[in-house]
Copies of this chain bind each other. A is one copy, B any other.
Amino acid sequence: MPLVIAASVEHADVLLALFIIIAAAKVMAEIFERLRQPAVVGEILAGVVIGPSLLGLVQPSDLISVIAEIGVIFLLFTVGLETKPDSIFRVGKRAAAVALLGVAIPFAAGYLIALAWGGSFVESMFIGAALVATSVGITARVLASMGLLDRETSRIILGAAVIDDILGLIILSVVSSIGTTGVNVTGLLKTAGLAILFTVVVGLFGSKLMSRLAPKVDSLYLSKPFFNIGLILCFGLSVASIYFGVAAIIGAFLAGMALAEATDDNPKMHRMTGGVTEFLVPFFLVNIGMQLNLSVFRDSSAVVLAVVVTVVAVITKFLGGGLGAWGMTRREMAQIGVGMIPRGEVGIVVAQIGLGMAVISEQFFAAVLFMAVATTLIAPPLIKLCFAEDRDRDGVTDTFVPDEHADEYSRIG
């Protein structure tokens, strides 16, 4: 009897699912680290293994996707905490160039490939849109785990990914409105303007405001005032972002960035945030892996399409991102190019909307899903490879991370 009672009231199934996700993610992370592969890859593959594709131990659900969303929000918040605004503004122009080329080339290529494969105009626009937005979470996690977030190239990637996300959401709204009612130019311009205004204003003034308020925050009765103010700011700006037309993770990143100066010498803040990240980010990664339904690929033409879309996604983003960094050394261009490759959840979101609107076929949907997971799996080893020399020069090895803050995130991925 108590089993039944407890199970109904205490969400026994939910707790079991959470346990399986955490255990699988951590075990796979451990295995991949031992094989000297990025833990991120292990955690995504954990999702493939326990998800509907293979063992079917855990089904994707609204609850898990909400926890995954909170996880990626916290991840971007911690990345923001490591990013002083000046360091982003200093690379602003270059980041904009990387973002623009990194959006234009994949979009055009995706559109043309889909058209050539027999896709309709709207369908092809959707495929192009799905190839646009970089999933900054994956790259940030890998760079953080290598202790390289403060590198110039890392900052360009982060800055470009933020711009990229805004451009991606604008393109998505254009494509969606074409798919439903046709283009409403005034509305789109207004939306785009608001999104850009929000990001720029918060980015420019958030940090100044928080630095001025810092002494007052310190005198609050709250136990860990900065952590608690950080929580409120993180969720507040995440929600605000959505209403201003950008992704929640951009707001979380801006919240972290606003607190970066004020909490620079506050290791407690970093450890506490690190604890939440370490707990919740596996849900984000496992959830990506669970989205992949391998059974779709029994049809060989689906496999071909998926591989073609993936190859196009990798090459065009690498070229676009790399060319945007024209004038830097070739290795730096390559670093930026590979840093922009992962699409992760953003591509999946675009594809889901297209499928929901019944404007893209199941086969295209599967191809985009495959591309999103595959680019996320391919990028971390490439990033590790391209940044390996930088790391070695800094004396950072696999088993020793000297920087205190970097250590908070080290090998969280």
Contacts and interface: CB of A to CB of B under 8 A. Distances in A.
A7 B242 contact: yes
Interface of A: 1-3, 5-12, 14-16, 18-19, 22-23, 26, 29-30, 33-34, 62-63, 65-66, 69-70, 73, 145, 169-170, 172-173, 176-177, 187-188, 191, 195, 220-224, 227-228, 231-232, 235-236, 238-239, 242-243, 245-248, 268, 271-276, 278-279, 349, 352-353, 409-412
Nearest to A69: B11
A248 B15 CA distance: 9
Lowest 7 CB-CB distances: which A-B pairs, in order?
A272-B275, A223-B411, A33-B221, A275-B275, A1-B173, A19-B235, A2-B245
Given A6-B245, A242-B7, A411-B223, A23 B65 contact: no
B18 A70 contact: yes
Nearest to A70: B18
Contacts of A276: 275-276, 279
A87 to B, nearest CB: 24
A275 B267 CA distance: 12
B19 A247 contact: no
Contacts of A63: 62-63, 66
A349 B220 contact: no
Contacts of A268: 271
Given A5-B173, A221-B33, A278 B242 contact: no
Contacts of A191: 1-3
A61 to B, nearest CB: 10
B19 A236 contact: yes
Contacts of A7: 242
A222 B33 contact: yes
Contact of A232 (B8, B22, B34): B22
Most chain B beta-carbon neighbours within 10 Å: one of A65, A231, A273, A412: A231
Nearest to A280: B276
Contact of A172 (B2, B195, B224): B2
Contact of A222 (B10, B30, B169, B172): B30
A243 B3 contact: yes
